[in-house]
Amino acid sequence: MQDAALRVVVGIDGSPSSHAALRWAVQYAELTGGGVVAVAAWEPPWAYGWSAPAVDPTFDRTIAERGLLNQVHQVLGESGAAQVRKRLVKGHPVEVLLSEAEGAEALVVGSRGMGGFRRTLLGSVSQQCALHATCPVVIVRGNVEVTDSGTQAE
């Protein structure tokens, strides 16, 4: 990977929005000469209260890492995926993305992830990242494509 100052961090959660964000991050990194780090976060169920066990018996890190790899390969193809560093990090998505993006050229996230309310225009993770990141944040809608000329088409 290139110089740490030219690192583009992108949040991946399996949503169409995060896939569009990944494509945008790769194109941006190509323009700036930077590298892309695709980050997925996972939280144990006990993070929301005291009633759940300390270990999530349904979580398998190997399966989750394979899922992240598969998503990146699905979106970018084999050669594109080889150019992206992939990280699965335990923690709340906002905290993980903000931490991973410290010192980055940009943080790229989708406008809506897998959770939340259907009527909201901006997901809570993207909103919190926009408010608290120490680097520029790009929020990409899932139905927007960047063309070869750099313009957006819906």
- Return d(Cα 1, Cα 44) in angstroms, integer: 30
State the pTM of this model.
0.79
- Structural element, H or E, at residue 69: helix 61-82
Count of helix runs (H) and strand runs (E) in the chain: 4, 7
Encode 120-147: b = buried (16+ Cβ within 10 Å), e = exposed.
eeebebbbbbeeebebebbbbbeeeeee
pLDDT tens sequence for the chain (154 residues): 444 459 999 999 999 999 999 999 999 999 999 999 999 998 766 555 555 555 555 667 888 899 999 999 999 999 999 999 999 999 999 999 999 999 999 999 999 765 544 444 556 899 999 999 999 999 998 765 555 555 544 4
